[in-house]
Amino acid sequence: MEGHAEYAEEGEDIICAAVSALALNFFNSVETFTEDEFEGGAGQENMQFEFRFTSEISPESKLLMNSLILGLRNIEKDYGKSYINVKYKEV
């Protein structure tokens, strides 16, 4: 994930806040509730979030990933592709 939604002024952008909360919750949930190995992190400057599994993906992590995607797609549906455009690829 990267970029800013520019839905509102910095500090008041509910789309950026929602996406950030979903991304950080995903990261923390995988770390807390699974044994899966991963690497990644978040950057503040351009709202970057990188995450990559470095081991086999457990069913729990697949569920958490699907939950993240569902949340992001719902934000996209509610606010439009002008503010959030969900694209992902499996590698």
pLDDT score of 5 more than 60? no
> How many domains does the chain fold into?
1
Residue corresponding to tokens 């992190």 = 41
pLDDT in tens, 34-62: 999 999 877 666 567 788 999 999 999 99
In this prediction, residue 69 carries a pLDDT of 93
| CATH (domain of 57) | 3.30.70.1490
Question: Which pair of tokens denotes residue 11?
Answer: 């500090």
**pTM of the full predicted structure?**
0.79
Per-position b or e across 25-42, b if 16+ CB within 10 A of its CB: ebbebbeeebebeeeeee
What's the Cα-to-Cα distance from 23 to each of 31, 63, 66, 74, rounded to whole Å? 13, 14, 12, 14
Q: Which residues form the domain of 64?
A: 14-79
Gyration radius of the chain's alpha carbons: 13
Greater confidence, 13 or 53?
A: 53
Q: Is 54 a member of any domain?
A: yes
